[in-house]
């Protein structure tokens, strides 16, 4: 701020100012008369310092002549575009306009007719979608793609793929929205099958199908959940009496032992070390063999003579032995309460000998009958092991450490078992190049460590004796 110097007034000038303000206070005259008076007084002043007084009077006269402008208060206008286009209607707002919710802006824009850059429409919500190529999927989804090439990518023929899409149509279909078109059912199912079949990273799956990475991950989980809810009750269930007789006949032709209704096996699926209770999932056997820390979860499955799963138990930690998992599984509970009677399930040396579970002899120096029994039991057990080999061979995602969260993993593993059954039932032969060498470390159970009934050992000895000395091994049940 600057301060200007003003000369002091003399006696004559001071007398003039006193009479001027006195006259202004007492007389209520018009502004024109006051201005005339001031001009007359100025003309009479002839002293050398009159120039400074003249500047002061001119300033006072200029302030009197100024008019105070009226402020124009206006209500907020939603049409910010028109307000900016016509500044003469009022002073332009320097404060930013209020922010509206995205849904409100979207509804208001649609009510304005969705206009573009014209003057009448409101602000539009611009949607930016990255353009991705769908050429790869368009080719495999067309008639130009040979069935064999399609099978290499999705592990099944087009006819089986179409059947799965028809079954899942109601559970997977999504409705179109104002913002975008829904992903078709065939593409949704294909994303899931390709991810399970190849185990490729989500970034690769994204480039194949022209979708976002997060979208592909979401589709895999949604389709796997639909497979569990819709297809599992149809394609993975305990056989009825008629089918059970067929299974027993087929197993008897393999082993010579009657009443065998299934073969059981447990495999491990590698996982990332969980944050909660990692020690429970620590797999000591795999760690010792691979020379690096290994964490896993388990899949226990019972298969029929064709290698189709009839019962599965998924999700127990990898540190648990096969006999502990069996003890906690649902199939063990069904046998214990008497729901399943007069049938045999065959297991390997990692399972205990039970009234309903046949396992091989594990002690040394076998007799001829015991050796023959172990060979026959091994042929039945091979059915389950081969089924798990095809399971992991078809769905490559099970061969390496999975990236799926632990809470979502049972759904994905269950979907793989259901898809395996569909391929087996439809006669989908697996490509020999996809063969997988299955290796699971078995913890041998002691001979007298697991039998709940003293009759189990005697029954197994009777079956082993009949296999060697009789044409029919017999069931062993009395």
How confident is the model at residue 403, as a pLDDT? Answer: 86
Alpha carbon distance 246, 420 (integer Å): 20
Better pLDDT: 24 or 186? 186
Alpha carbon distance 141, 138 (integer Å): 5
**In terms of Cα–Cα distance, which of 338, 192, 319 is closest to 266?**
319
Q: What b/e string do you get for 245-260 counting C-beta neighbours within 10 Å, with b at 16 or more?
A: eebbeebbeebbbbbb
Q: Is the pLDDT at 324 greater than 90, yes or no?
A: yes
Average pLDDT over residues 293-311: 96
Cα separation of the two ends of the chain: 116
Q: Is the pLDDT at 361 greater than 80, yes or no?
A: yes
**Number of other CB atoms surrounding residue 168 within 10 Å:** 21
How confident is the model at residue 238, as a pLDDT? Answer: 96
Ordered structural domains, the chain, with CATH: 135-234 (1.10.472), 239-469 (no CATH)
Average pLDDT over residues 62-74: 42
**Residue count of the chain:** 478
Q: DSSP readout, 184-214?
A: PHHHHHHHHHHHHHH---HHHHHHHHT--HH
Alpha carbon distance 242, 397 (integer Å): 35
174-212 pLDDT, tens digit each: 998 888 889 999 999 999 999 999 999 999 999 999 999
How confident is the model at residue 54, as a pLDDT? Answer: 58
Quote the DSSP letter at residue 93. P
How confident is the model at residue 180, as a pLDDT? Answer: 83
Q: Where are the beta strands (DSSP E) in 6-129?
A: none
Q: Is the pLDDT at 331 greater than 90, yes or no?
A: yes
Asked whether 194 and 139 are in contact (CB, 8 A), the reply is no
Q: Is the pLDDT at 335 greater than 50, yes or no?
A: yes
Asked whether 171 and 232 are in contact (CB, 8 A), the reply is no
Is the pTM value of this prediction over 0.85? no
Give the bridge partners for 269, in sequence order: 297
Asked whether 165 and 189 are in contact (CB, 8 A), the reply is yes
Average pLDDT over residues 105-111: 40
Better pLDDT: 12 or 248? 248
Better pLDDT: 143 or 473? 143
Q: Is the pLDDT at 3 greater than 50, yes or no?
A: no
Better pLDDT: 6 or 396? 396
Over the chain, what is the mean pLDDT?
80
How confident is the model at residue 385, as a pLDDT? Answer: 95
Q: Is the pLDDT at 444 greater than 60, yes or no?
A: yes
How confident is the model at residue 97, as a pLDDT? Answer: 47
How confident is the model at residue 142, as a pLDDT? Answer: 95
Quick check: helix, strand or coil at residue 215? helix
Asked whether 360 and 377 are in contact (CB, 8 A), the reply is yes
Q: Is the pLDDT at 337 greater than 50, yes or no?
A: yes
Structure tokens at 478: 């009395």
Contacts of 452 (CB under 8 A, 6+ apart): 354, 355
Q: Is the pLDDT at 268 greater than 80, yes or no?
A: yes
**Number of other CB atoms surrounding residue 315 within 10 Å:** 17
How confident is the model at residue 470, as a pLDDT? Answer: 75
Structure tokens at 434: 């996809």
Dihedral angle at the C-alpha atoms of 203, 206, 212, 214, nearest 10 degrees?
-60
Average pLDDT over residues 276-301: 91
Alpha carbon distance 334, 357 (integer Å): 13
CA angle 332, 338, 342 (to 5 degrees): 90
Average pLDDT over residues 288-310: 93
Residue 388 — pLDDT band, cuts 50, 70, 90? very high
Sign of the C-alpha dihedral computed for residues 438, 444, 450 and 455 taken in this order: positive
How confident is the model at residue 118, as a pLDDT? Answer: 44
Residue 398 — pLDDT band, cuts 50, 70, 90? very high
How confident is the model at residue 12, as a pLDDT? Answer: 52
How confident is the model at residue 291, as a pLDDT? Answer: 84
How confident is the model at residue 159, as a pLDDT? Answer: 97
Residue 70 — pLDDT band, cuts 50, 70, 90? very low
Average pLDDT over residues 19-47: 51
Q: Is the pLDDT at 123 greater than 80, yes or no?
A: no
């Amino acid at each position: 701020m600057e301060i200007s110097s003003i000369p002091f007034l003399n006696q004559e000038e001071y007398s003039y100012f006193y009479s001027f303000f006195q006259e202004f206070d007492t007389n209520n005259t018009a502004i024109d008369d006051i201005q005339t008076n001031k001009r007359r007084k100025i003309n009479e002043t002839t002293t050398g310092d009159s120039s400074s007084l003249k500047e002061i009077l001119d300033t006072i006269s200029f302030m009197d002549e100024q008019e105070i402008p009226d402020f124009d208060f206006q209500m907020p206008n939603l049409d910010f575009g028109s307000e900016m286009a016509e500044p003469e209607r009022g002073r332009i707002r320097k404060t930013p306009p209020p922010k509206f919710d995205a849904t409100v802006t979207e509804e208001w824009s649609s009510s304005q007719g969705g206009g573009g850059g014209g003057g009448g429409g409101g602000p539009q919500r611009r949607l930016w979608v990255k353009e991705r190529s769908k050429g790869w999927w368009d080719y495999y989804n067309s008639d130009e793609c040979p069935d064999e090439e399609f099978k290499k990518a999705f592990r099944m023929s087009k006819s089986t793929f179409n059947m799965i899409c028809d079954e899942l149509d109601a559970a997977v279909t999504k409705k179109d929205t104002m913002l975008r078109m829904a992903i078709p059912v065939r593409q949704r199912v294909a994303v899931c099958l390709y991810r399970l079949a190849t185990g490729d990273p989500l970034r690769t799956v994204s480039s194949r199908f022209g979708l976002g990475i997060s979208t592909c991950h979401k589709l895999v989980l949604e389709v796997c959940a639909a497979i569990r809810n819709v297809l599992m009750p149809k394609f993975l269930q305990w056989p009825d009496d008629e089918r059970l007789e067929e299974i027993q006949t087929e197993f008897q032709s393999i082993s010579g032992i009657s009443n065998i209704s299934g073969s059981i096996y447990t495999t491990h699926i590698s996982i990332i070390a969980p944050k909660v209770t990692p020690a429970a999932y620590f797999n000591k056997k795999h760690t010792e063999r691979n020379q690096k820390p290994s964490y896993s979860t388990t899949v226990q499955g019972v298969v029929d003579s064709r290698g189709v799963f009839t019962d599965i138990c998924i999700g127990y930690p990898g540190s648990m032995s096969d006999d502990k998992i069996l003890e906690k599984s649902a199939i063990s509970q069904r046998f214990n309460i008497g729901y399943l009677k007069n049938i045999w399930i065959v297991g390997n040396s990692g399972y205990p000998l039970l009234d309903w579970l046949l396992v091989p002899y594990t002690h040394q120096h076998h007799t001829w009958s015991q050796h023959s029994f172990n060979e026959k039991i091994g042929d039945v057990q091979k059915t389950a092991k081969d089924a798990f080999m095809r399971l992991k061979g078809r769905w490559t995602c099970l061969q390496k450490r999975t990236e799926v969260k632990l809470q979502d993993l049972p759904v994905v593993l269950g979907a793989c078992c259901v898809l395996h059954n569909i391929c087996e039932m439809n006669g989908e032969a697996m490509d020999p190049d996809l063969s997988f060498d299955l290796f699971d470390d078995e913890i041998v159970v002691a001979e007298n460590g697991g039998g709940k009934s003293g009759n189990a050992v005697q029954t197994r000895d009777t079956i082993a004796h009949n296999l060697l000395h009789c044409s029919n091994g017999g069931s062993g049940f009395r």
